[in-house]
Structure 1
């Protein structure tokens, strides 16, 4: 008769370090499987821009699902076309049906990652219908995923901003919330972000190598204990122990691969960047995201470019008008504007510039070998979201949201496609959660979410 093992049974590694047995049937965590152990971690990044897009130059206009032709705004993504997914037909119905919010940018930015109605604050309504101190009504998708993964990495999530401040109203200023009234403030200064995130790694390469060697010794000793334990178990549990042994061997191999590849190196501290240098701040923040994911310091990150109702003036592109001004056709373009250039061309140049930044982030992730023939991008999904649908007129709409998913997140998303869908944005987030291993079938307002989207996987 096989003796029953306690759930507290431990395997003793080198130096008395104890490792529990988490893989027997009674010990399996809900919705996790033995097959997942040793798998390359999945990551998610949310990439926020504002004021909508010019649909005529954004969406593909020819070709089919897989042979689509990228439009003018997305030319920078051509080398990455096999690793992106463009879902056309996503609606932000929660914003459309929000009767509390009165300003389009309040609603668009607050709903962008939360899919919940806004909540009016004590100061009430101000100019242009803004809720001066309003808040999103629930948790944002990034924080919901971070809650699920909490404890897996040193940082549950990392939030970065690129001049994502300076607007008086609360709602267009923030995209990330831990809950109603709990906005998450992004890190705005790359140098400060570096000091906060990477300072704990300052022990240097020797310390890191020592920690790795200790892990290898523990794993080697535990593998021996597993072999001795196998004879005391029944058939089903022996199969699980064999799977666990295989996962230990895979983990040892991965440790060796990571050591050889120098997987985690402390990046150079950003410096010499002016606090208003939008392009350089953005580039530095994206580099910090890539290093953070490469070092597995977090698996959830976001980058917020400006705010909802963005006041950024892209003077490096020759623009004298703000992004928000251009998006509403305000006649503040300079009188000596290039011959034939109009507000639509200016808006397309803005869309194109952001696509170039998105391409930089994807390319940086794709350059990192994950150790099994895939790349960091292949095991990540970078969700490009916007607070508005389009910037070609003077209205705020959310019926054709300009989303792009970059990376398959470990093969979950069927990338390299332009697909027509009939979906609400909370349903897209259900797919993102499932890609990250979560069991959830709804997110945000459940009356506007019926589960994952048909056609993304």
Structure 2
């Protein structure tokens, strides 16, 4: 196991390209087929950082050899993989200082996490902070498509996310909106997929097929309208319209790929019924559902790139109920007293408790 220090996030993304945004790289093992598994990327992100020096949840101490690394108790599952891991530490947030939005602090950094660049769009507040380029997941996904891959270029999921602080970006200012309803994602991906293990060709679900046709029809209408409007505007507006047209073309290609169900190896996940995914008290159970969907989708080679965003840029009102926390009233501008954000500000035993849950 190696350890790399003193890299900026931007230089890391530029110099390592694919690898920088995809740590750890996961080799998904097919359940039954004895064939080499494709390499997949599963990118997690949650806000409020971690206490790197904490005895309970801090980063493993540096070591010259893999054998010298001492994992924390909740990291025990990584033991069999220690020789395949690359731990990165000391990556700074220099892109915040160097970007065109230098007045913003860490709570506005999400758009730069996978891009290494921020941009100040017209407007005020964090909603005006956008990415300055494409994110690494979109770069990987489009590269796979260019190489002939027919699955989803990427699967972008979110749990209790808001309308700002996006992680994934097709291009500067063009955010990928994460799917937040695990039941709907399940239906989109696994309708018609065999319930038991083994190799089989899924049967397209009529409802899903109809929805895709409707989406393509809407996109076609919007594309035609934008094309006509493009002839009557100035240079700057034309650039914006061209960016929108490029996004529409990408969406149309994605819908075309989705219309051809992949050959599936393995089985679809089983989700618990009736979970209200819109309330923060079900944050943990919704997260587990999204993880199950993501892993099953990669195992079935429906996609090879997944981004899972857990919460927004501060998680002011995310309550981790399975850890025993309950809503306890607002505390200034940090949100609910027992929310993830307020707990992070206290930097006490509760912070270790929450960090352990996010990392384990």
- Listed one character per residue, the Cα deviations across residues 263-311 of structure 1 (whole Å, up to 9, x for unaligned) are 3323335522122311111111111111111111111111111111122
User: Are residue 163 (structure 1) and residue 160 (structure 2) matched?
Assistant: yes
The corresponding residue for 1:98 is: 99
Q: How many Å separate the matches in 2 of 1:138 and 1:156?
A: 17
Q: How many Å separate the matches in 1 of 2:187 and 2:202?
A: 23
Q: How many Å separate the matches in 2 of 1:72 and 1:264?
A: 31
Q: How many Å separate the matches in 2 of 1:160 and 1:138?
A: 20
What secondary structure, in the 3-state scheme, does the structure 2 residue paired with 1:46 have?
strand
The corresponding residue for 1:84 is: 85
Q: How many Å separate the matches in 2 of 1:72 and 1:295?
A: 31
Find 1:347's aligned residue among 340, 344, 351: 351
Q: TM-score, normalised by structure 1?
A: 0.48
Query: Which 5+ residue runs of structure 1 have no aligned equivalent?
Result: 1-37, 212-258, 330-342, 357-457
User: Are residue 182 (structure 1) and residue 179 (structure 2) matched?
Assistant: no
Find 1:43's aligned residue among 25, 31, 40: 40
Q: How many Å separate the matches in 2 of 1:55 and 1:263?
A: 39
What secondary structure, in the 3-state scheme, does the structure 1 residue paired with 2:191 have?
helix
The corresponding residue for 2:250 is: none
User: Are residue 198 (structure 1) and residue 200 (structure 2) matched?
Assistant: no
Check whether the contact 2:42–2:307 (CA below 8 A) recurs between aligned residues: yes
Q: How many Å separate the matches in 1 of 2:202 and 2:192?
A: 16
- CA, structure 1 residues 62+206, in 2 after alignment: closer, same or farther (shift >3 Å)? closer
Q: How many Å separate the matches in 2 of 1:347 and 1:106?
A: 17
Q: How many Å separate the matches in 1 of 2:275 and 2:338?
A: 23
Q: How many Å separate the matches in 2 of 1:290 and 1:210?
A: 18
- CA, structure 1 residues 269+64, in 2 after alignment: closer, same or farther (shift >3 Å)? same
Following TM superposition, by how much is the alpha carbon of 1:102 offset from its aligned partner in structure 2, in angstroms?
A: 2.5
Report the count of equivalent residues.
Answer: 246
Structure (1 or 2) with the larger CA radius of gyration: 1
Q: How many Å separate the matches in 1 of 2:292 and 2:340?
A: 24
Check whether the contact 2:95–2:116 (CA below 8 A) recurs between aligned residues: yes
Q: How many Å separate the matches in 2 of 1:263 and 1:207?
A: 5
Q: How many Å separate the matches in 1 of 2:294 and 2:345?
A: 32
Q: How many Å separate the matches in 1 of 2:61 and 2:37?
A: 36
User: Are residue 136 (structure 1) and residue 131 (structure 2) matched?
Assistant: yes
Q: How many Å separate the matches in 2 of 1:210 and 1:353?
A: 36
The corresponding residue for 2:284 is: 279
How is 1:328-407 mapped onto 2 (pairs within 5 angstroms)?
328-329=345-346, 343-356=347-360
Check whether the contact 2:112–2:131 (CA below 8 A) recurs between aligned residues: yes
What secondary structure, in the 3-state scheme, does the structure 2 residue paired with 1:293 have?
helix
The corresponding residue for 1:109 is: 110
Find 1:54's aligned residue among 43, 51, 56: 51
Q: How many Å separate the matches in 2 of 1:209 and 1:131?
A: 45
User: Are residue 315 (structure 1) and residue 321 (structure 2) matched?
Assistant: yes
